[in-house]
């Protein structure tokens, strides 16, 4: 399909110490981009890893890959939300850099969006989806329990997924975002009021290199996140704790971060400053809890 017929796509990738995974991740993304003639750019939202990630990205010299180095309000959800505000594409995607999420599934996920879905998940738990055989029973139970707890909010099979695609117009309908913890996909499904969520089966591989950043603290934060989403569904939105109103975010034209290893995340600082003065001590404690480094 000629490039002009496909909507432009920005892939937002949160990273923290993923230098070992980045070379293969970038190569596979480049291959998908070329094979499907995608108008694809990438925003790598890195929390100042200092592990050589910036140098690896710069050395690749891929003009469609932009690095944003974040030095404040670190955290996965914050990084993703900031990336979504910065993104220029008509379609927005989010995925991990550790090669758990196959870049090769992106074209099928985009097709699902083009044929009517308003949110598409790269899903482990629909027919044809899978996880690695070596998942421990504990990890599996953990994942299932987290999914069950979210069931009153959405009936999708894999609401915990960090691999998803949505139109920017859908994101712009979102309101009262409260970026906390790891489950930014669930946050978006609820706060953007996504009605038609489609799950495309993927094989969720184990991370190739490096250590998981998912900690017990993150799991505790998930309970706090759920509490807030339940309150939101019941129409209770504490004014002090949310990014209020529509997805106003930072003005796009002036906040696009120049690519390169020295980029600093000014937009994110503005975005998060935007709601932190209104945050209660409770909110600040929750955010601190999310930061374990």
Ligand X SMILES: Nc1nc2c(ncn2[C@@H]2O[C@H](COP(=O)(O)OP(=O)(O)OP(=O)(O)O)[C@@H](O)[C@H]2O)c(=O)[nH]1
Q: Which stretch binds ligand X (CB under 6 A): 40-48, 150-158, 243-251, 256-264?
A: 40-48
Work out the angle at residue 63's Cα, subtended by the Cα atoms of residues 57 and 66, and round it to the nearest 5 degrees.
55
Specify the length of the chain in residues: 293
Residue 116 contacts residue 195 (beta carbons within 8 Å): no
Phi-psi bin for 249: left (phi > 0), alpha (psi -120 to 50), beta? Answer: left
CA distance 163 to 161: 5
* Total of residues contacting ligand X (CB under 6 A): 20
207 binds ligand X (CB under 6 A): yes
Binding mask 104-143 for ligand X (x = CB under 6 A): ----------------------------------------
161-180 residues near ligand X, rule: CB under 6 A: 162
75 binds ligand X (CB under 6 A): yes
Interface with ligand X (CB under 6 A), residue from 79, 113, 117, 150: 79
Residue 173 contacts residue 192 (beta carbons within 8 Å): yes
54 binds ligand X (CB under 6 A): no
Q: C-alpha distances in angstroms, 110 versus 68, 122, 151, 176, 192?
A: 24, 11, 25, 26, 18
**Beta-carbon neighbour count of residue 238 at 10 Å?**
16
98 binds Mg ion (CB under 5 A): yes
CA distance 90 to 156: 24
Binding mask 221-260 for ligand X (x = CB under 6 A): ----------------------------------------
Choose between 22 and 40: whose C-beta lies nearer to ligand X.
22
Interface with ligand X (CB under 6 A), residue from 10, 53, 66, 100: 100
181 binds ligand X (CB under 6 A): no
45: which 2 tokens? Answer: 């939202």
Matching residue, tokens 């999914």 = 147
Interface with ligand X (CB under 6 A), residue from 58, 62, 214, 289: 214
Binding residues for Mg ion (CB under 5 A): 96, 98, 100, 207
Instruction: Give me the residues that bind ligand X (CB under 6 A), please.
Output: 14-16, 18, 45-47, 74-76, 79, 96-98, 100, 162, 207, 212-214
């Amino acid at each position: 399909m000629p490039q002009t017929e496909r909507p432009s796509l920005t892939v937002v990738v949160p990273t923290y110490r993923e230098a070992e995974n980045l070379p293969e991740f970038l190569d596979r993304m480049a291959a998908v981009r070329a094979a499907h003639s995608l108008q694809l750019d990438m925003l790598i939202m890195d929390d100042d890893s200092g592990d050589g990630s910036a140098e690896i990205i710069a050395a690749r010299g891929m003009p469609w890959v932009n690095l944003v180095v974040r030095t404040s309000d670190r955290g996965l959800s914050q990084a993703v939300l900031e990336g979504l505000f910065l993104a220029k594409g008509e379609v927005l995607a989010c995925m991990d850099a550790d090669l758990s999420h196959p870049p090769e599934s992106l074209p099928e996920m985009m097709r699902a969006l083009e044929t009517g879905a308003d949110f598409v998940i790269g899903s482990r738990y629909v027919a044809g989806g899978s996880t690695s055989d070596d998942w421990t029973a504990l990890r599996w139970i953990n994942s299932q329990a987290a999914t069950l707890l979210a069931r009153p909010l959405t009936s999708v099979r894999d609401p915990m997924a960090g691999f998803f695609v949505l139109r920017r117009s859908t994101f712009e309908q979102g309101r009262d975002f409260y970026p906390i913890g790891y489950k930014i996909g669930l946050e978006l499904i609820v706060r953007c009021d996504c009605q038609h969520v489609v799950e495309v089966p993927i094989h969720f591989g184990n991370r190739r290199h490096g250590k998981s950043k998912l900690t017990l603290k993150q799991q505790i934060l998930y309970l706090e996140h759920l509490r807030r989403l339940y309150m939101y569904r019941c129409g209770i939105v504490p004014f002090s704790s949310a990014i209020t109103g529509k997805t106003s975010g930072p003005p796009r034209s002036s906040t696009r971060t120049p690519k390169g290893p020295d980029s600093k995340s000014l937009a994110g600082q503005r975005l998060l400053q935007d709601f932190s003065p209104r945050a209660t001590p409770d909110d600040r404690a929750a955010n601190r809890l999310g930061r374990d480094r």
